[in-house]
Structure 1
C-alpha cells in the first residue's frame, strides 16, 4: 500500500484477524532491533488496553483499509515526512 493513512484509520493486517486502528507513525520497534516501523496501532474497537496490545506494522502489511481517518491540511507535512522516510531518493508515489 503506497497511501499514507491518517491517525484514526482502521485497517486489516496480514496474519491478524481483528481490525487495527492507527494511532502513530515512524516509531522504533519494541523488539529491540532498532527497526523503525511505519505505523503503530491498537485493536479496534477496544483501543489502547495496554502496551501489550500495541501493534507495529509496515505499510506493505496492510491488506485492507476498513476506514480512513480524518485528514486536513495539518496532516500534509506528516504525509510528506512519512513519504520522504520511506523514499530516501525523494521519489513521489
Structure 2
C-alpha cells in the first residue's frame, strides 16, 4: 500500500492535521490514519507532509505505510485529538516544512 505522489505538489493553504486524524485520500480506496508529519520516505528520499497507516488495521509493516502531501486529502473522516501542545507542535512542524521547501527550491535553481 506504499504510494508516492509522483508529481509531489504542495498546497500551503491547508493547515496540517493533528496526529490520529483519519482521512480519505484521492485515488486510494481505504481510509488512513495519520501518525507522523514531515516524514522522509527512505526509498525515494522525498519528504512528505504526512505518513499514515491503513484504518482500521493500523501499523502492519513498513510496506503498508502511506506517504502523502496535504493536496492528496479528499476528505477528513475524523479529526485527531487536539491540545495546546498539539497545536504548538503543528506550528513548529509547519515552520520546518516551509523551511525545507524553501531550501529545496534554492537547490533546484
Give TM class, smaller chain: 0.7 to 0.9
Tell me what 1:50 maps to: 61
1:81 has 2:96 as partner: no
Compare CA radii of gyration and give the structure with the larger one: 2
* Runs of 5+ consecutive residues of structure 2 not aligned to the other structure: 1-12, 103-109
1:19 has 2:31 as partner: yes
Runs of 4+ aligned residues of structure 1 deviating over 6 Å after TM superposition are none
Greater helix share, 1 or 2?
2
- SS at structure 1 position matched to 2:35: strand
* CA RMSD, 1 decimal: 1.6
What is the CA-CA distance between 1:86 and the residue it aligns to?
3.9
Aligned residue pairs total: 88
2 CA distance for matches of 1:59 and 1:78?
17
Greater strand share, 1 or 2?
1
* Runs of 5+ consecutive residues of structure 1 not aligned to the other structure: none
- SS at structure 2 position matched to 1:2: coil
- SS at structure 1 position matched to 2:29: strand
